[in-house]
Structure 1
């Protein structure tokens, strides 16, 4: 259960995925965290992280827990949110290869493609420049695991990072729209907390 406190509190959607890793990263950069599994816990938070996992499973569990509409409502009302990997898919307005019954929470004017970088065995790491988050002289080491990429960026969203090398060169892997941020990669697994620090700062500014 999320505690009701006067200081900003960042919830981590805890229906499936790498919840603990995100919570630890947020706490390392000075945030207070709690797990969000029920609508009443959602009402207590000032921001939300949607972790990586399996987007189709996450979608079904969000609906089973009665969280879909409360999440959509809070996102429409301006709740700051950060989604990594499957979280990016959950925040996208459109999925290029969605299963027939798959739904998203929406909020980001982008089209994403699930598992675009391949299977688990195709996981990889690469250095990225992420606009407004990392310094050009110190790129971010990004971890990609069965990751999506952004197929297209609509006029309301902004691309923050693209892959620079290899077969996926030029593909967009980080985006922002207002108080929403999403990445294809897993910063909670790379030991670099700058994405989380930037999100926490955005929450504090909001």
Structure 2
């Protein structure tokens, strides 16, 4: 099993360390030719969604990745990655991959000072630590989107087909259960 980690900007190294700890090989996706390699899953890390979206287009990676996600490539998206997958972004006309029918609110908890840590229940996993940094949340979802977790009545984790989108950063906590859940998603999709 091999997972491609979008490595243009943001917290991608932490995801790679998690996967390697769990015995999964990673490849960094930095340019168009990296997309020619075989990989079984994709991670869209936290960071700045506008910067990531701009770089994906400039490097001619956007359309290829969008099609692979639409075609069912298992994808784990955290924080900015969640914004990249949203069909709608509140107070913003521009969207990115638009592969999950949901509306997202950017910087929903305010700036850096609005960052926080909690432990909450996640459907299919149990209690997990959650670190939110300038995090978005999901305002609404459409049919077919499975809500996996809420914090203070805000949707913060969803699954849609083979896409797992989280408003928080599981790569920053010791707990490996979310990355293990994603690995299991990949295994199921390759059966």
Q: Same fold (TM over 0.5)?
A: yes
| Per-residue CA distance 1:79-138 (angstroms, 9 max, x = gap) | 11010000000111111122x5x331121111101000111011100111110122xxxx
CA distance in 2, matches of 1:89, 1:35: 20
Higher strand share: 2
Per the alignment, residue 121 of structure 2 pairs with 129
Give the 5 Å matches for 1:51-200. 51-98=45-92, 100=93, 102-134=94-126, 139-163=127-151, 169-200=152-183
Moved over 4 A (4+): none
Gaps of 5+ in 1: 1-7, 164-168
Per the alignment, residue 25 of structure 2 pairs with 32
Conservation of the 8 A alpha-carbon contact between 2:87 and 2:95: no
CA positional deviation for 1:26: 1.2
- Alignment size in residue pairs: 188
CA distance in 2, matches of 1:142, 1:109: 23
CA distance in 1, matches of 2:104, 2:23: 31
Gaps of 5+ in 2: none
Q: TM-score, normalised by structure 1?
A: 0.88
Report whether the alignment pairs 1:201 with 2:158. no
Q: TM-score, normalised by structure 2?
A: 0.95
| Per-residue CA distance 1:146-176 (angstroms, 9 max, x = gap) | 000000011121110000xxxxx10000000
